[in-house]
Amino acid sequence: MSVAAAEDEDLSGVADFEKEVHLLQMLASHPVWMTAMTVIKNNGYYEHVTQQNLETLFEFCHETVMHSLKFIMAGNDNTVITQQQQSQQQRVILHMAVMTCVFLSSLVGEFGGSNSAITYNCPLEFHRTSHVIFEQEGISKVLNIAMGGLSGIVNHWNNNSNNNVAMMDASVELAVGVVDVIVDVLGWEFGSIGGGHWGRTGGSGLVRPPESWREYLIRPDLLGAVFYVYTSVRELGKNHEQGQDTITALRRFQHSLRQLLIGLASITGSIFQSKTEKGAYLEYFVNGLLSVLSMIVTDLSPFTVQNERSTAEDILLEQLQRETVDFCCMMTRIVTNFRVEALSILQNFATFLSAIASVGDVLLRISVSELKAAHGDVEVMADDGDWRNEAIGQLLEAVCLLSEDHWLLSSRAGNAQDTARNALASSLAPLYSSYVSCRIEMAKMEEFYLTANAAELDEVREEISGVSMDEEMNAASSLGRVHLPSSLSCLSSVFQSCVPKLQALFASDEQAVTPDAAALLEEARLLILCTGHLLTDDCAGETPFIPEAILNSCVEPSDLSHAIKTGSDEFAATTHAISQIVHVLMGIAEFQVSKVALSPKNPNLSPLLAKTLLWFFTRWASAYILPSSSSSSISESGSGQKGILDTWSNQETSRQVVSFCVTLCLHYFTLWPHESQVIQGSSELLFSLAKRDRNVKLLLMSCPSMEHLFNLHICTAGQIHSSTEKNAGPGVSEKMASAFRRIPYKYRANILTAILTSSSEINDAKSESCFNACLQAVQDSFRILVEALEQKKVRPHDVFTVEMTCLCVELFGGITRASEICHPERIPIFMTPFLPQLAALMNFYATDITICELLLVLFRDYTERYIVSLDREQCMTVFRASADLLKDYSSNHCQSRVIRKAVNDSQENDVQEEQSYNDVLCAIQLLNNIGAKDFVDSFSSQRTGAKGVDSNEVIEVVFFGLKQILPLMTNGLLHFPTLCKQYFSLLGFMMETYPDKIGMLPFDLFNGLLNSMLFGMSHTDLFVSKSSLQGIAALCREQIENKSLSGHLSQNPSLFDECSKRILEEVIFQSIIWDRIEPAANALLPLAAVDMNKFATVVNMISQQLDTEKKQKIQQAFQTLMDPDVIGKVSKGNYGGRLNRMRFRKDFELFVKDIHSKVLVF
């Protein structure tokens, strides 16, 4: 049916037309379309049949869309057609065009895999082929149709957007359809399945379309016209005199245009023929973008003031929310795509940067206004604020990309990079001040409300909020470093206002936290967080360095005119500002500690604030004290003064700040022993310094406070919480010793780790003396405990004995974790002799799950850190001790303990439930660590000829341990992801390396092991499934070659039949097969070769469940797959040879494709 024919029909013909439209929709949403194309292509008839059909189809779609546009344009002249003719033709022609657009969008979605095509359960190859065919023959034609339609729509709106309101609804409906088609085409994964050279760029959302699309997409004139249409539609959408349906349609059109613009902002790659062309495209885009952003800022500005809003204003704000987020995303895409080098050439580059700052500022001020209107209650804000946080996040991402652009590193005086860097600093600096002031103001209001109303905190929500805030502040730190002097000035001014009030609060005698006090404490906390993120980076697992941007602002400018520009003319003032802020924070900490000494229970002294201060000092001290001269090329730039690098690098200043840190920790240890977060933060600060180089370690050892810490550990190593001994060491008061022993044992262990690491330098008498004294104190305490237990001087389950046991085990754990000391081999030399005695504790405390877990954690950590470096004698000691430990543990926790996975309604509950089985996890990890010794020693022996531990000695221990924990390996336990992965890691090692040992297991244990592998082979985790399938394959090969499982087969003759049935039904005949084809093939081949007749019986039994036609197909497919020659060779015990195995894997892949496309789908 042609468009002209549709014009001539009367209303009675509309029904036939609607049937035709319905058929189009059905075609785009049914697999038959793709199936026909794929089958025809695969059989060589594609060019002869489908090409002609496609051409006819796309010609019809193009004619439909373009004719409807002509009709709409004609509709602006009322003399052309009568009102009745318009009504009839509008219904037919416009509806046809709109449905054509829907059809095209559906078509792109079907072949792109974004719509229902993925639910057809077709094999991956089917979708891959369909994707390639449509990419080659269809996608460009769809774009051609849609871009032709877009040109007509743009012309219509540019020339007649306000002349004929009656035609507006018609044109908007078609415009939305056309634009949506283009958006879908731009979202096509170019070559992602077909293996082409196009595609998306990483995870940035950028699109690399083919060069042939230049004529459609690289048209700056059309780009400017699209922005003009958007602004026109935007203004029309504000006209509330129009009908609600019209306004809704216009807003939907706005949304579609925004998605189109985001897609156009993401275009990159060879589609641009030159930098000039790319720059022209960018200029047109940025001009249009800035015009819309100015409108958005103007519309948002009234909402920064707290006023009662009308319904119309609420509707406007709701529309602005979606618009603002989309345009912030657009800015981020522009920065990601074109980078600073291209942006800086634009005449309006500074205006673009100012727009980022303006939008960010107005969003922050609206957040403050909204929270004020809600009186600080986040839950009842007029809007939830998520849209503003999302938009601010997009802006901060753009700022990070701008400020950290690699192109700026080549900055030289007066060049383009230098000019761009200056523009960034001058334009974006105000946004950081706005960010700090608004975020602090919001935090104060929220804390005031919570305290005033005694509101209960949702811990999960608080944790999520904390993580989100941390990520946001990390991004904001890049913004602050763009112009560091102004950022430091902002923070200093807030500190000047906050610190006097904070000191007054600390000095008060108030015994309750008032809302005003809570707000002040939260202000101080946020201020410290902002400072910490600005001045330091999170260097977890890395050597801490001063951030490059900080160094660049705090060193003298390079005096080499031809060199890359480093340093700043304001370096002295900036360095002084950093030093002043750090001293302010030290003053706050000192003042707080002095008041804690007088009134430790005063709630206004805020342990949370102390924790935040410790967090700052941990990050700052590890990077700024005696900084490495190799931390940056800036330090070698030729400048005479290094600014911030010299501030804390001389002996005197570094000694003062190190002494301050250690003394602060000592006071917190002895004044707030029960404040776990403060104690943890203090031990982390100590450990961060102790891990530094020799110079810092020697500074630590020279501190009187560090000597007090050593004495506190030595005199309390044998004292539990309730001890009353009064034997404080030199320089340590009884009050300090009493407080120190009340610290939770796990934190005392962490403190021990820190002080051992700090005293680990060799060739220093004081360090060696303290190190040995700390170890001796633990040894003496443990010796007394063991003697008392062996000689029955104490009852094992007496509360004091249990406490002492927990303390000793925790302290040994602290010693074990000191693996970052100088010459770490000293730890195994000390620890190894005590392992048998530690394992023997399980005899006394096998029923105490707390001590069991402590012992398992200790052995796991010890083997994880030191197993690779132990000599043979030490290894044998570890092996025997581990075997004894696991034996006693198993006898009390593995034989009768039943583990079932509870049905929980949240991931949080799942995590908590899994943690309750941490002892099982530790036992599995211990065995995995021991198993690693076999590989390491085998490699070392081959390389050096040294005598390592024999494989049999390793496997005996691992196999023994596996037997102990197998009773626990139920499906309930294996539903926990971490436990499951660790178990199958151990199982994979055992089955692949020593399958012969499995035949020695009692049948019950063997059956449990086999069931766990059958459970794992269909697991969603690919590692688990592969390990399980490899284990099944290893069992089958062992039976073929050595008949090791004959004893088990005598008890269950159908053992391998059950394996065959389940691997076929649960893996091979399921959609999960596509990511585990190779291990499934490797398992199926020996499984069939064990007994081909029984395997054939299983296949026949499964095929009986199908209809006659499918039954014949599946049996024929199996006959083709199971080549008698290959099966015969495998069944003789040589596994068939490498070439035959490769042949079987290839045949198996074809078998799976055939079965899934012919039997299991259609």
- CA 478, CA 481: separation in Å to the nearest integer? 5
Model pLDDT, residue 630 = 55
- CA 838, CA 805: separation in Å to the nearest integer? 10
Instruction: Note whether 718 and 784 are within 8 A (CB).
Output: yes
Task: Using alpha carbons, select from 716, 720, 802, 783 the residue that is nearest to residue 755.
Answer: 716
Q: Which position has the token pair 């039954």?
A: 1111
Q: Which two tokens stand for residue 614?
A: 């410790």
pTM here is 0.85
Q: Which two tokens stand for residue 753?
A: 């780790």
Model pLDDT, residue 191 = 60
Model pLDDT, residue 406 = 87
Question: For 35-49, what is each residue's pLDDT tens digit?
Answer: 333 433 343 333 333
- CA 1017, CA 631: separation in Å to the nearest integer? 49
What number of CA atoms fall less than 13 Å from residue 418's CA on the CB side?
A: 11
Which runs of consecutive H residues, i.e. helices, occur in 508-570?
515-535, 548-553
Question: For 712-745, what is each residue's pLDDT tens digit?
Answer: 999 999 999 988 877 666 778 888 999 999 999 9
Residues of the chain with pLDDT under 50: 1-52, 76-83, 116-119, 161-166, 193-203, 636-640, 901-905, 908, 938-945, 1162
Task: Using alpha carbons, select from 618, 713, 700 the residue that is nearest to residue 669.
Answer: 713
First-residue to last-residue Cα distance in the chain: 32
What number of CA atoms fall less than 13 Å from residue 231's CA on the CB side?
A: 16
Instruction: Note whether 366 and 439 are within 8 A (CB).
Output: no
